[in-house]
Structure 1
Amino acid sequence: MQNKGFIKVFSIILTAICLFYLSFTVVGRQYNKKADQYANGDLALKSQYLDSLSTEKVYLNYTLKQVREKEIGLGLDLKGGMNVVLEIDAAEVLTTLANTDDPQFNQAMRETVIQNRRGSASDFISLFQQNYEQIDPNGRLANIYSITMGDRISPTASNGQVISVLRDELTSVANNSFNVLATRIDRFGVVAPNIQKLDRAERILVELPGITEPERVRNLLQGSANLEFWKTYNVSELGLYFNELNSRSSEYAMAQRSALTAETTEVGNEANGDEMEEGTAEEDAAIQDTTNTIGTTIITPDGEEKKIVITKSFVEYFNQPYFAMSGAMGPVVGTVSKLDTAEVNFLLNRFKDVFPADVRFKWGFKPVDQRETYFELFALKGDGSRRGPALEGDVVTNARADQGQQGSAWEVSMTMNSAGASRWATITGAEIGKSIAILLDGYVYSAPTVNSRIDGGRSQITGNFSPQEAQDLENVLRSGKMQAGVRIVQEDVVGPSLGQEAIRDGFVSFIIALVVLFIFVIMLYGIIPGMVINGALLLNFFFTLGALAAFQAVLTLPGIAGMILALSMAVDANVLINERIKEELAGGKTPRRALEDGYKNAFSAILDANITSIISGVVLAIFGSGAIRGFAITLVIGITASFLTAVFLTRMLYENRMEKGKWLNLTFSTGFSRAMFRDYNFTFIQNSKGVLT
């Protein structure tokens, strides 16, 4: 066989890659098992355990969070979870762009909304165009949209041209919403979510495996994006207020500690007096329960209930308390561990009367350390009588991330409309030397310092941005271009018990099919050829799983079906090869010559069959979605792996053994196969006469 060295090296490299990526699944499953044992059925406790280790390096310098991201993900049908189809409020987008009271326009919009909610094969914009032209056959959409979109739509534009621009605008809004949803879901902490745009521009598919709180997900997904620009305080301006807060929080913490100590002592004495003969287990349980009456239950920004007990002063919760450092400048109050943010929020809210009425505190979106443990707290300054943001994000018309001149650091350019540009010039002129915080959904993404007054609405945001950070900031700024709500048009919740049942049934059926197949090929070709085929099938399965892990694909029941089908095609390839070898042996050739000719003569048939199947799989993967796409991807990977194992690796094994003088007496047949396919004689024509007459 030619290129034997290349095939050997390629196989070794492929095996190493598959082992590397599959090892993450093994490690992740081990920690998941430890979490189950620790939580003992308490999902909240399990989540807390995994979160506490998420930034710890647990394997090959990878954190547990990175390990879990590299696992083979399980789809909804295997793990349980939530499948949601979201629809952008296209009516709101088109109405906002039009800004008109035209009765025909409003009537067409109402009818389109009704038809769309009843269900239609056409997208929203196509329905709107049909309804508008039916209501007013001579109506011109350009007369409406050229007023507010004069830079893109001329007064003489046809309805088709206007619809094309509106379709682009809706696609842009959908892209912005997609980015916002991806960010929210990432913050929600779902492992291996699937977010994709559907054929209709206004619809987005979201699959969240392992979700156990559907109501929280609904609230998370349906909220509108809220981009805001806030003025900020320098922490040095708030020094006296922080000193007062620290003093009062210290007294509060001391009272909490005293109450906790007193109640623990009282419960411990009761346990000792009443149940001395029961040992220490009951005492420990009683003492642990004392925190049920001490502390406060709060609702976190993510909607979770959390009970907190304040045992430290405000400053002691900070890893880096900038507000307590002399000469500190800028809006960052300090950095706090993610485990202590609830306590800091509680103290800021309890003693909010300490600060001026326009002070607002918000957390940074991204952690500041490599272990993703610490987050920055920003001091914002409310503007106007409402003490809110200085500027809303809907004034942003465009944003773009670019690398600076001569390969310098990345920067983000931002453009505003005329109203926003005027207000922006006033804000930046008054805030020179201070920071303007950019918030999305209540989290600070960036807080650039104003160097000079910015006229014309064109701004450059610079900093030590990586390409990804610059792209993220661009997406954040674009999300405020059009605030459009989303609604859930389809929702399916799969319980974890159903997912476990599907895993068990799928695994059992797969094992049964594999065992029957192994036994059959051994009965058909003998022990050695049969075991070679079985080994090739197992190697094919290993390569397929390794490829899925490397591509971070999600395994579903249709995907398992695709793997089984690929295994059956791998069997076909081995059967073709072995049958051709048998024919060559029957022709009187030596085993080594028969082996060489058998592989050579079967190659073209195997190649043709695999190529046609791969083409079908690629078409399904491109045009299909969900279960169909999962089936197609695993099928294509499995067929490719089967070609390598059946055509090349098995041949290398046979040639290696025969070169060493072994396996030279193989016949590739057994008594069973000879009895079934050569010696068995049944005259179908003669015996059919008795049946037909």
Structure 2
Amino acid sequence: MLNQNPLWKTLLVLIVVFGCGLYALPNIYGEDHAVQISAGRNAQVTEQLLDQVNDELTKANIAIKRIEYANDQILVRVPDSDTQLLAREHLETALGDEYFVAMNLAPDTPEWLANLGGSPMKLGLDLRGGVHFLMEVDMNSALEKALEDAQGDFRTALREEGIRYRTVRAKENAVDIQFRDQEALDKAEFFLRNRNRDLVFDEKDDLVLEATFSEARLLEIRDYAVKQNITIIRNRVNQLGVAEPLVQKQGADRIVVQLPGIQDTAKAKEILNATATLEFRMVDQKNDIRDAMNGRVPPGSQLIDDRNGVPQLLEKRIMLTGNHIIDANSGVDEYGLPQVSISLDSDGGNKMSRNTRGNIGKPMATVFIEYKATDERDADGKLVFEKHEEVINVATIRAQLGSNFQITGIDSPQEARDLSLLLRAGALIAPIQIVEERTVGPSLGKENIELGMQAIMWGMALVLFFMLIYYKAFGIVANIALVSNVIMIVGIMSMIPGATLTLPGMAGIVLTVGMAVDANVLIFERIREEIRDGRSPQQAIHHGFDSAFSTILDANITTFIAGLILFAVGTGPIKGFSITLMIGIATSMFTAIIVTRTLVNLIWGGRRVEKLAI
């Protein structure tokens, strides 16, 4: 008999629809207002802190639903937004500056469902509310840092090659190398040209060789500065507990940061605007630190205080910057003493190897540098940043170091953990400043959700009513497939880590509802034609599905390609629309062709049918 389902196809439909329905389920549970506590510098979130938070809120008579401790963070769930604001203010006062206390919205997914990996759809800024920042990277600082790196590389390379020079000095957009004689200059120029293909060398007066970056290298420096800052900003956003933040490049030197669900703009700005970097320098043992403290600092050295306010005399020459660190972990050495294991990229490993080869047994300092914005602005109207430096660790070099090495001489395991966190967080290539800030209130986001849901529900209701009246029993089958389609879209959007539902995305769902029904209309009209041509009901069903398949496939493939182009070239709302559109096309193809046919075969297939209700 025609139109009989193989067992595998029926099981496939059941598994796919049930699986998507299971992962769509978290969306009906909603979210809790929550206060999130994470550790700042020199602090750690422990279970003892959880007890302290609980006691503080109980003493202040602040109602809480429950307190959770996970992933080195504490999440306090409260009944409403007023209680959330009260709890945040009280905990900020009680815990001080050592901890970040931020307001957030936390999914209220049941534990059994969360253990299966279930989580609600990530909502965009326009639906959930939150903050939008446009940040600008200080490219002048990025170029200065690149020039400092080139200056250090020139010194090391010329010294290893045995070429004598007088001075190596970085100036605006170039590095000048002065030599003792013309022979040394010519030899150095030949050597450095072959070694640095991305630099342009020009011979100047007074035996000076000037090195400048090529246009391609300048473009690479700017692009790397933005990309590295994007990576570090994403790490910092994790402190705010944002499930799906948007951090992406805009233009040549700007970064867009969107934090859905975040209501504490002051704390978000504090974390994102904190610009920090790391440097490794040798401790100056040739000169007397007491002379330096009395005002006689050697030209090639610098006094920098450590965490306890004790001055350390360091060489100005930077051995390595923190942007070469790819991983850092705390642990203990063979004697049970605390240490930090560091992994560098290949370029950083080569620099560290060259710089430590002749410094075995000498102390090396790790310097933490922070750029804080002042109220002053330069001639271009950009904020002026003030530089703060602090020695966070001094350790003795035991052997020549490479891409992987350990920092020892650390006082305690806690200090080792703190140092590893600082190193692992990464170093911003250049300071950044917030040039634009927008806040979308949660009430506006809630209104957008309600209006969007109304559009989807009314659109579905009208389509379901039309199909039921016009196609009778086959309309019921189409309606079941249509509901399954929406459930699958929600389930898939919830499963995909990077998918975010925006207001245009909801428009994409409404459009998909119409397109899904369109495929059923083509199939059902084809079945009607086959019946009018005198075919039996079973033959009409069989030929109707087979004949309409190519038309449905062609129409959906062209629309999917359009959605793919929108996703590739679009940003923000356009991306949100294209994601739901492409997912909707895939699910509507599955439901219109496979689910509908499976249901039709279960009801009418494999038996004698005199008449079809279509």
Report the TM range for the smaller structure's normalisation: 0.5 to 0.7
What SS is found at the alignment partner of 1:225? Answer: strand
Which residue is equivalent to 2:79?
Answer: 38
Which residue is equivalent to 1:605?
Answer: 551
Which residue is equivalent to 2:255?
Answer: 204
Q: Which amino acid aligns with 1:89?
A: D
Deviation at 1:413, TM superposition (A): 2.9
Instruction: Please list the CA deviations of residues 298-348 of structure 1 after superposition, one character each: whole Å capped at 9, or x if unmatched.
Output: xxxxxxxxxxxxxxxxxxxxxxxxxxxxxxxxxxxxxxxxxxxxxxxxxxx
Report the CA distance shift for 1:13/1:57 in structure 2 as closer, same or farther (over 3 A). closer
Q: Within 5 A, what are the aligned runs for 1:567-578?
A: 567-578=513-524
Higher helix content, 1 or 2: 1
**Counterpart contact for 1:394–1:481, Cα < 8 Å:** no
**Counterpart contact for 2:125–2:260, Cα < 8 Å:** yes
In 2, the alpha carbon distance for the partners of 1:489 and 1:454 equals 46
**Counterpart contact for 1:146–1:155, Cα < 8 Å:** no
Q: CA RMSD in A?
A: 4.9
**Counterpart contact for 2:20–2:491, Cα < 8 Å:** yes
Which residue is equivalent to 1:88?
Answer: 137
Q: Which amino acid aligns with 1:178?
A: I
**Any gaps of 5 or more consecutive residues in structure 2?**
35-63, 67-76, 92-100, 149-169, 178-191, 203-209, 283-304, 329-340, 372-391, 409-418
In 1, the alpha carbon distance for the partners of 2:102 and 2:78 equals 12
Which of residues 236, 253, 256 in structure 2 aligns to 1:184?
A: 236
Deviation at 1:146, TM superposition (A): 6.0
Which residue is equivalent to 2:480?
Answer: 535
Q: Which amino acid aligns with 1:546?
A: G
Deviation at 1:539, TM superposition (A): 0.4
In 1, the alpha carbon distance for the partners of 2:505 and 2:517 equals 19
Q: Does 1:163 align with 2:215?
A: yes
In 1, the alpha carbon distance for the partners of 2:274 and 2:576 equals 30
Q: Within 5 A, what are the aligned runs for 1:169-568?
A: 169-198=221-250, 200-227=251-278, 360=307, 384=311, 395-396=321-322, 398-400=324-326, 412-413=343-344, 415=348, 429-430=362-363, 452-455=397-400, 460-461=405-406, 476=423, 479-480=426-427, 482=429, 484-526=430-472, 528-552=473-497, 553-568=499-514
Instruction: Please list the CA deviations of residues 192-218 of structure 1 after superposition, one character each: whole Å capped at 9, or x if unmatched.
Output: 2222233x3422221111222323323
In 2, the alpha carbon distance for the partners of 1:479 and 1:25 equals 35
- Tell me the TM-score normalized by structure 1: 0.55
**Counterpart contact for 1:437–1:448, Cα < 8 Å:** yes
**Counterpart contact for 1:394–1:480, Cα < 8 Å:** no
What SS is found at the alignment partner of 2:135? Answer: strand
**Counterpart contact for 1:620–1:629, Cα < 8 Å:** yes
Instruction: Please list the CA deviations of residues 89-133 of structure 1 after superposition, one character each: whole Å capped at 9, or x if unmatched.
Output: 11332345457xxxxxxxxxxxxxxxxxxxxxxxxxxxxxxxxxx
Report the CA distance shift for 1:58/1:518 in structure 2 as closer, same or farther (over 3 A). closer
Instruction: Please list the CA deviations of residues 512-534 of structure 1 after superposition, one character each: whole Å capped at 9, or x if unmatched.
Output: 121111111122112x1111111
Instruction: Please list the CA deviations of residues 627-677 of structure 1 after superposition, one character each: whole Å capped at 9, or x if unmatched.
Output: 101100100000110011111111111111123648752241xxxxxxxxx
Report the CA distance shift for 1:441/1:389 in structure 2 as closer, same or farther (over 3 A). farther
Deviation at 1:11, TM superposition (A): 2.6
- Tell me the TM-score normalized by structure 2: 0.62
Deviation at 1:393, TM superposition (A): 9.2
Report the CA distance shift for 1:478/1:98 in structure 2 as closer, same or farther (over 3 A). farther
What SS is found at the alignment partner of 1:226? Answer: strand
Deviation at 1:390, TM superposition (A): 12
Which residue is equivalent to 2:17?
Answer: 15
Report the CA distance shift for 1:9/1:667 in structure 2 as closer, same or farther (over 3 A). closer
- Residues paired across the two proteins, number: 453
Q: Which amino acid aligns with 1:494?
A: V
Which residue is equivalent to 2:124?
Answer: 75
Which residue is equivalent to 1:655?
Answer: 601
**Counterpart contact for 1:618–1:636, Cα < 8 Å:** yes
Q: Which amino acid aligns with 2:547?
A: N
**Any gaps of 5 or more consecutive residues in structure 1?**
100-140, 232-357, 361-380, 403-409, 464-471, 669-693
Instruction: Please list the CA deviations of residues 548-602 of structure 1 after superposition, one character each: whole Å capped at 9, or x if unmatched.
Output: 0010321111000111111111111011001001101111111111011111111
Report the CA distance shift for 1:12/1:214 in structure 2 as closer, same or farther (over 3 A). same
Deviation at 1:55, TM superposition (A): 13
**Counterpart contact for 1:153–1:162, Cα < 8 Å:** yes
Report the CA distance shift for 1:145/1:180 in structure 2 as closer, same or farther (over 3 A). same
**Counterpart contact for 1:56–1:63, Cα < 8 Å:** no
Deviation at 1:385, TM superposition (A): 5.2
Deviation at 1:496, TM superposition (A): 1.4
**Counterpart contact for 1:180–1:225, Cα < 8 Å:** no
Q: Which amino acid aligns with 1:9?
A: L
Instruction: Please list the CA deviations of residues 235-262 of structure 1 after superposition, one character each: whole Å capped at 9, or x if unmatched.
Output: xxxxxxxxxxxxxxxxxxxxxxxxxxxx
Deviation at 1:505, TM superposition (A): 1.3
Report the CA distance shift for 1:521/1:180 in structure 2 as closer, same or farther (over 3 A). same
Identity of aligned pairs, percent?
28
**Counterpart contact for 1:506–1:557, Cα < 8 Å:** yes
